[in-house]
Structure 1
Amino acid sequence: MTLHVQHHISDELLLDYATGNLAEGWSIAVATHLALCPTCRDRLSFMEHTGGQLLEAAEEAETVATPADSWAAMKAKLSAASSKSYAAEPVAAPADIPVLPEPLRSYLGGDVEGLKWKALGRGAYHIPIKTGDSESQVRLLKIPAGKPVPEHSHGGRELTLVLKGAFTDGATVFKRGDIEEADETLTHQPVATPDEDCICLAVTDAPLKFKSLLVRLVQPVLGI
């Protein structure tokens, strides 16, 4: 069997990961997506190779530039080259990877069968994941089949990586391996598809902004 990853990491996020400029929480999401997505692994390899060539060329030419200027120029060239070289098309990948691939599985101490979920209400569950990163909050979410997440917007960035099942966000479907990037401009209400519960990895850097007064009242207790 195969899975088909259709929604990939943005060039900007992947470039930051390649250069070690991502905090731990974001890096967990990117690395876990890479374990499921051969397209993005190829993109990462391409970026690293191209970045090495650009650095070598700059050293040979003894280019005089500040580190910030050099990085900005390199980032622009890599992003342009990457977007031209790889189309966002479905790519088959082995489907026998565990539900929680590495490195995520090590953070949780095993795969989904042995996890101890904490109730969020309305049949939803979560598991906060501890990191050494004070910039982001990381958690595993389990949303009941056919049920929506409370409508919300964002105080910052949110990454949602599907590990099992699927969810819809408007007309778009996100399945296993797909990653959704959201920011302050997006208000949405993802809904788990009716065939099975949806398990996702979610990373945020600010509390969500829920429309429901009831959810806002319990938000400090839930820590979301």
Structure 2
Amino acid sequence: MSDKEPTTVEDTTGDGDEATEAVSEAAEVTESEAVETSDDAPDTKPARRSARVLVASVVVALLMLGGSAGLAAWLYYNEYRPDKETDPAAAQVALEAAKTGTIALLSYSPESLDQDFANAKSKLTGDFLSYYTQFTEQIVAPAAKEKSVKTAASVVGSGVSQISADSAEVLVFINQTTTSKENPDGAFAASSVKVGLTKVDGNWLIASFDPV
């Protein structure tokens, strides 16, 4: 029994070495084949990278386009429009509104009081409109009818002192002639008024009327 044991051990060791070598060779072959397969397969990384770059470029372009549109809109509403609404042409519109409104306020005749007052009120707004309505109904109309008071106003000078997109202030110089039963020859007066304007639905209306 003891003579056969060494032989058995030696044979087992030999078989193990052969098995190990076979496994190693198989592993090397597999690794080699894997390398060759990897080398032979087309490289898809550049294509994927190019696709990502293209998508990113499109997204950036869209964002820039949207940003440009947003910037253009912001500039229009916050820069261009206010400039257009306060340029010399816009100031001239406000100036004309102040002049025609002033003449309407200070000119009336006993024969056409209702029409004259309605014309004046169409050029007013806010609290001043309420004040004018009450003042003409309670004071001016009764006096004009009783004493035949007639007034005619003209603007001899005017200028815009302040203006923004929806408000303006105009200085108006006025000549006014008033006749009545007691003074048929008329009385002449010169005055100046600071006219405050507010833009309502695109139209300049008088919101205040203060002597200066």
User: What's the TM-score, normalizing by structure 1?
Assistant: 0.21
Higher relative contact order (CA 8 A, sep 6+): 1
Identify the structure with the greater helix proportion.
2
Name which one, 1 or 2, has greater alpha-carbon Rg. Answer: 2
TM-score, with structure 2 as normaliser: 0.21
